[in-house]
Structure 1
Amino acid sequence: MKLQTQRWIDRWVGQALCAAVSLWARLWGNKVQALPQAPRHILVILLSEMGSVVLAGPMFAALRQRYPSATVHVLQLKKNQEVAKLLGLAKPEHLHALDDSAGLGLLSDIWRVSQTLRALPLDAVIDCELFSRISSLMSYLSGAPLRAGFTPHTQEGLYRGSFINRAIPYNPYQHITQQFLSLVDALDDAAMPRHKAAPVRALPSDTCLSVPFDADELTRYRQKMHADHPTLAGRQVVLLYAGGGLLPERAWPAAHYAQLAKGLVDAGHAVGLIGLRDDAALASQLRADVASEFCVDLTGYTKSIRELLKLFHAAQLLITNDGGPGHFASLTPIQTMVFFGPETGRLYGPLGPRARVLEAGVACSPCLSAYNHRQTFCDGDNQCLKRLQPLPVLHEALQILSQTVQSKADCSHAALSSEPVLHA
């Protein structure tokens, strides 16, 4: 189903259904109860982009720490489930999916999943969505007596019904990871439905997630990559993700990427252009502009998220538009530079010390929000990214690569210094 079709249905049909369910809940809804001390089943709804799953990592860690006996279930769109499986967010039998590729299939899945969840039964549901009303409706259809989610209060937009009985105000000034953690805090607050006394949480320093790799597995992958693309061997590898995905206004200009890639190659590094098969045309254009054997096309090279993570292990730096790759990179040792403009790194930036957010800070940025259904008014003229010039980005990238070399040299020196001295 096309994105614009989904938005139209969500705006008109979704609002009407949320209003109807709100009226039903007010007239015939059960009295809100406190969460049991040892809840049995908790559902987390995360329908949006795959990168959001990584930002929700600390929330899952908090859930398991606070409710160790609870079984955590996850509801996602079918196309986004690969990440949840890879990260082990829940056991395979506790992962539930909605297929949004066709309207009738989606309705069938909603009915099927709702019946499955109601049979558990659930003690609570956490709805992490801001934009879709289907997730709000699913939280009610799941049968969970406690429903934590975001509320706009009196702000325009974001109407998702009044049946969320553990609601926190969506805060566009606080990182989304912190807001996810507030949803966990809301489950225990008896003063609901308006959650006010949430503890002050610092932004987590990491994702609390990991994907274990065997050293031999990573070595074999690096050898395969060098065999497939010999020009990458012997040079530091910089990966560039120039695609915009579903929101092309988030993309740094292709001409800027070409100038950056040429500067990296001239400085003695290798460049790999990553992305989906749909990004192959853009990669071909960039390779033609750079005109160097050390700039290679890796679009479609990785067949899974796990392979993408292995590719990150084999490279030294990722420079990317806002999107999934920047968040997946935080699960690996690679250094990352992420462009933000239509959205802001203050709200959606990758977690961890290895990520750098690049923003121009123009007056209209950020322009995509929960209040405008992520529809920008710049009409493709994304000045917030066009004004980020290639030469300063290149300078910072070369500094990072230089520091990476120095860090490896220091580690090698320390290892040699720690070896025992043999005397004749």
Structure 2
Amino acid sequence: MKLQTQRFIDRWVGQLLCAAVSAWVRVTGLWSAPATLDAQAKNILVILLSEMGSIVLAGPMFAALRRQYPGAAIHILQLKKNQEVSKLLSLTEPEHMHTLDDSSGGALIADILKVSLTMRRLGLDAVIDCELFSRVSALLSFSTGAPVRAGFTPHTQEGLYRGSFINHAIPYNPYQHISKQFLSLVDALQSPHGMPRNRAGAIRDVPAEPELSVAFTPTELETYRSKVETDHPVTRDRPLVLVYAGGGILPERAWPASHYARVVQGLCAAGYAVGLIGLKDDAILARDLQTQVGHEACLNLTGYTKSIRELLMLMHASALLITNDGGPSHFATVTPIQTMVFFGPETGKLYGPLGKRTIILESGIACSPCLTAYNHRLTFCDGDNQCLKRIAPDPVLDQALTYLRTRTEAASV
């Protein structure tokens, strides 16, 4: 199903359904006490339908849930296309992973009904809705039958209505990193009845690490490194730098291709091999960049990795990743690779990768960031993303070379 179609349905049908459910909950709640969560909870569901990168940013939240509710089974509901990441990161047991197929309207409705019935039979103690202002996720949290429903609310802010049946809600805060807000949802599970529920939450810093890992044996990594060198002999004598130039589902997040070409040319001239990574849909862009660069050390690796696990092994075999805001920058945080990531339509202050091996590149232009939960991530720049175009390539190249040379010197000591 197209993204615009999903937004249209969520906006108009979703609002009507949220209003109806809110009225029902308000009437039936007149004769019942506010729902609370027992410390001995047995089943907690996390609804996380966003892009794959958000799964990594939610890592500290899952760690906090396991610490606070060690006897509970943590269930995850996500889009089918994103489940590979959760399995790789071992967020929970495979039998506790549930999916929605959004490839068509019929498939999505069928899966919503199926998951709702499954959760009701299971007997959930609580549900955490990690989506910011999606009505379908809010309705899902109600349809599961969980008595405790934690999620975000706009509170008194106009627009983005999603009902009033999230009974352990926290106000979405556009000034706090999303990982910190996910942790606030865990705090809200046992918060007293009343708003805003952040008042009862712990004082937290932005998580220092994603608290996630993927185990590789030294033999496995060495075998994969040998495979890369066999398939691309130029990498035997040149350290490998990875570049992700695609914008994914939001092309306005992409740094200009001509800027990337300038940086890649400089890296190749300085003795490095550059692998252009991405999905098969990014192959055309990669071929265009290869043509602009015109150097044998510029490699088209789009589609080369067959899974996220292989992508992580490729990152283990590389010295640096230069990327647009997106999944690869977050996956990199569970590997040793250094990352340089461009932000413009969105900001690293809210969605930056966790950890200490990330350099955030932003221009600071007045209209940036422009994609928010309040405008459904629809930018007003009409494709002319000056926030990224104004990040000049030469300083980026200098910064990359400085890091790579420092890395080489440290390794030789």
Amino acid at match of 2:176: Q
What SS does the corresponding residue of 1:288 show, helix, strand or coil?
A: helix
For residue 154 of structure 1, report the CA deviation from its aligned partner.
1.1
Match of 1:414 in 2: none
Match of 1:164 in 2: 166
2:282 aligned residue (275, 279, 282)? 279
What SS does the corresponding residue of 1:139 show, helix, strand or coil?
A: helix
Amino acid at match of 1:25: V
**Which of 276-285 and 13-22 deviates more?**
13-22
What SS does the corresponding residue of 2:334 show, helix, strand or coil?
A: coil
Amino acid at match of 1:268: G
Matching of residue 112 in structure 1 with residue 87 in structure 2: no
Contact 1:21 1:161 in 2 (8 A): yes
Structure 2: gaps (5+ residues): none
The C-alpha deviation readout for 1:49-74, integer Å capped at 9, x for no partner, is 00000000000000000110011000
The C-alpha deviation readout for 1:366-395, integer Å capped at 9, x for no partner, is 000000000000000000000000000001
What SS does the corresponding residue of 2:374 show, helix, strand or coil?
A: coil
For residue 193 of structure 1, report the CA deviation from its aligned partner.
4.7
For residue 158 of structure 1, report the CA deviation from its aligned partner.
2.8
For residue 221 of structure 1, report the CA deviation from its aligned partner.
0.4
| Pairwise CA RMSD | 0.9
CA separation in 1, counterparts of 2:159 and 2:328?
29
CA separation in 2, counterparts of 1:383 and 1:140?
42
Match of 1:328 in 2: 331
Match of 1:130 in 2: 132
The C-alpha deviation readout for 1:133-176, integer Å capped at 9, x for no partner, is 11111000011101000000111233221100111110000000
Contact 1:252 1:339 in 2 (8 A): yes
2:313 aligned residue (310, 313, 330)? 310
CA separation in 2, counterparts of 1:136 and 1:150?
9
CA separation in 1, counterparts of 2:164 and 2:133?
15
Match of 2:250 in 1: 247
1:372 aligned residue (371, 375, 390)? 375
CA separation in 1, counterparts of 2:296 and 2:159?
50
Contact 2:192 2:200 in 1 (8 A): no
Matching of residue 17 in structure 1 with residue 32 in structure 2: no
Contact 2:187 2:200 in 1 (8 A): no
What SS does the corresponding residue of 2:92 show, helix, strand or coil?
A: coil
CA separation in 2, counterparts of 1:157 and 1:374?
14
Match of 2:103 in 1: 101
Match of 2:83 in 1: 81
TM-score (norm 2): 0.98
Match of 1:238 in 2: 241
What SS does the corresponding residue of 1:378 show, helix, strand or coil?
A: coil
**Alignment length, in residue pairs?**
410
The C-alpha deviation readout for 1:343-402, integer Å capped at 9, x for no partner, is 000000000000111000100000000000000000000000000000000011011111
CA separation in 1, counterparts of 2:382 and 2:133?
21
For residue 248 of structure 1, report the CA deviation from its aligned partner.
0.3
Matches for 1:341-380 after TM superposition, within 5 Å: 341-380=344-383
Contact 2:276 2:299 in 1 (8 A): yes
Contact 2:133 2:153 in 1 (8 A): no
CA separation in 1, counterparts of 2:164 and 2:269?
58
For residue 17 of structure 1, report the CA deviation from its aligned partner.
1.0
Match of 1:421 in 2: none
- What's the % identity of the aligned pairs? 66
Match of 1:44 in 2: 46
Structure 1: gaps (5+ residues): 411-424
CA separation in 1, counterparts of 2:214 and 2:129?
25
Match of 2:5 in 1: 5
What SS does the corresponding residue of 2:309 show, helix, strand or coil?
A: helix
